Amino acid sequence: MKTPQAQPAMPLAAQPLGRRERNKQVKLERIIAAAGELFDTYGVDAVTTQQIADKADIGTGTLFLYAKSKSELFLLVQNSGYVAALEQGMAAAENIPGVIEALMAIIRPVVECNRSHVENGRTYLRELVFGDPEEPHHRDALALTIETEAALTAVLCRDERIKPDEAGTLAQIASAIMFISMAATINATRTVDDVIEEIAGRLRVMLPH
């Protein structure tokens, strides 16, 4: 009997999920949707984990399988929005030739996401700085900041006047400018457009003309 040849492994992204994994994914999506709606409506400080579990129609024990504290659950929800915003910005930047304009195409959706609820957005930034880096959703949040810097670096590398080894440093500074502008108390009542213009003005000063 001829021995069948081994088939190449299916790419991970293409492998179908089993029933257990699908159920976990459905519950995760319900948790994110429920928590996100409650956080947006009442603010993170006013929402309890019990309210989130009730709205997601799960037990609190199940809820804590996905995030072991409210702060971690908050990061889970905010990270989900950050991922979508960053993907949107990166896609837009691909079709914009100007460096400043492309940088702002990446930055704008992130700012809009962060300021959809200003106090929640500022809480998220505080968690990034002061949260426990050993917590999984905090690590994910930090990883997103690195991805943001990488996207900004790729845009800066388009400018022939910027040396490749300088682009990464400039991207870190641009990212810091974005986060400081979003977190600043003085900007709490300002519009998204105001914050965007502040960031853009600082980038124009920083980058070669």
Helices 99-114 and 118-130: angle between axes, nearest 10 degrees:
100
Share of the chain above pLDDT 90, in %: 81
Position of tokens 């700085």?
129
φ, ψ for residue 98 (rounded to 5)?
Answer: -70, 135
In a domain, 6, yes or no: no
Q: Average the pLDDT over 168-175 and give the result.
A: 97
End-to-end Cα spacing for the chain: 72
Q: Measuring CA to CA, which residue among 112, 137, 115, 117 is closest to residue 127?
A: 137
Residue 46 sits in a domain of what CATH number? Answer: 1.10.10.60
In a domain, 165, yes or no: yes
pLDDT digits (tens, 9 = 90+) for 3-28: 334 344 444 445 566 777 888 889 99
In a domain, 60, yes or no: yes
Q: What is the pLDDT of residue 17?
A: 65
Q: What is the pLDDT of residue 15?
A: 59
Q: What is the pLDDT of residue 10?
A: 41
Residue 177 sits in a domain of what CATH number? Answer: 1.10.357
pLDDT digits (tens, 9 = 90+) for 23-71: 888 999 999 999 999 999 999 999 999 999 999 999 999 999 998 889 9
Shared domain for 75 and 108, answered yes or no, is yes
pLDDT digits (tens, 9 = 90+) for 123-158: 999 999 898 888 999 999 999 999 999 999 999 999
Q: What average pLDDT does the structure give for the chain?
A: 90
**Could you tell me how many residues make up the chain?**
209
Task: Provide the domain limits for residue 115.
Answer: 69-206
